[in-house]
């Protein structure tokens, strides 16, 4: 039963995220990205993320190299968490000539649908060495529980 509930929670989170992404694409007139079912906002660049789940919480880690802490914003509205910000392009210096620029600059945004099981008022975030780690704790009722069965 616990395993089924765990799988259901994971699938529910994934399905809610997919539904939010499809709605965002529909409203913005974008088509689905190739090779995956997660959409990315149409901004200057998009940070990559890992989304994980433990028994206690959901975790989101976003790679934001070259972004200053002051340029990152985390917001939560109507069950949707958005990470947004800006990465500045280096100023051209006299005597320096670029042959190739592959790193993206400018604004970015990623949005995620947060499951109802998350205690939004207890969400925390840490930004260190270009890695944003967001912890979304589960409510007590959403955590798996074991019930001992006794035979009489």
Could you report the per-residue pLDDT of 22-53, keeping only the tens digit for each? 666 566 554 444 443 344 444 678 999 999 99
Q: Output the pLDDT for position 43.
A: 61
Evaluate whether residue 118 is within a structural domain.
yes
Classify each residue of 48-69 as buried b or exposed e, where b means 16 or more C-beta atoms within 10 Å of its C-beta: ebebebeeebbebebebeebee
Mean pLDDT to the nearest integer, 12-21: 70
Residue at 150 is within a domain: no
Q: Mind listing the pLDDT tens digit for each residue in 61-99?
A: 999 999 999 999 999 998 899 999 999 887 777 888 888
Residue 133 lies in a domain: yes
How many folded domains does the chain comprise? 1
- Is 84 part of any domain? yes
Q: What Cα–Cα distance (Å) separates residue 127 from each residue in 2, 65, 109, 111? A: 34, 11, 16, 18
Q: Report yes or no: 138 and 119 within 8 Å, Cβ to Cβ.
A: yes
61 within domain boundaries: yes
Nearest to 134 by CA among 71, 51, 64, 54: 51
In a domain, 129, yes or no: yes
Is residue 95, in this structure, part of any structural domain at all? no
For residue 69, the domain's CATH number is 2.60.40.790
- Other C-beta atoms closer than 10 Å to the C-beta of 110 total 20
- Is pTM, for the whole model, over 0.85? no
Question: Biggest alpha carbon distance in the chain?
Answer: 86
Average pLDDT of the chain, as a whole number: 80
Range of the structural domain that residue 125 is part of: 2-89+102-141
């Amino acid at each position: 039963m616990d395993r089924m509930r765990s799988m259901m929670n994971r699938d529910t989170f994934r399905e809610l995220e997919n539904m939010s992404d499809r709605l965002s694409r529909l409203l913005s007139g974008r088509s689905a990205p190739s090779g995956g079912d997660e959409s990315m906002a149409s901004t200057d660049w998009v940070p990559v993320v890992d989304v994980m789940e433990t028994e206690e919480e959901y975790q989101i880690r976003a790679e934001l190299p070259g972004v200053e802490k002051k340029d990152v914003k985390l917001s939560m509205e109507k069950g949707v968490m958005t990470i947004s910000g800006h990465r500045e392009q280096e100023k051209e210096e006299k005597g320096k000539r670029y042959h190739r620029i592959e790193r993206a600059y400018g604004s970015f945004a990623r949005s995620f649908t947060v499951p109802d099981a998350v205690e939004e008022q207890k969400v925390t975030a840490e930004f260190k060495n270009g890695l944003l780690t967001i912890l979304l704790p589960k409510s007590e009722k959403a955590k798996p529980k074991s019930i001992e069965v006794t035979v009489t």
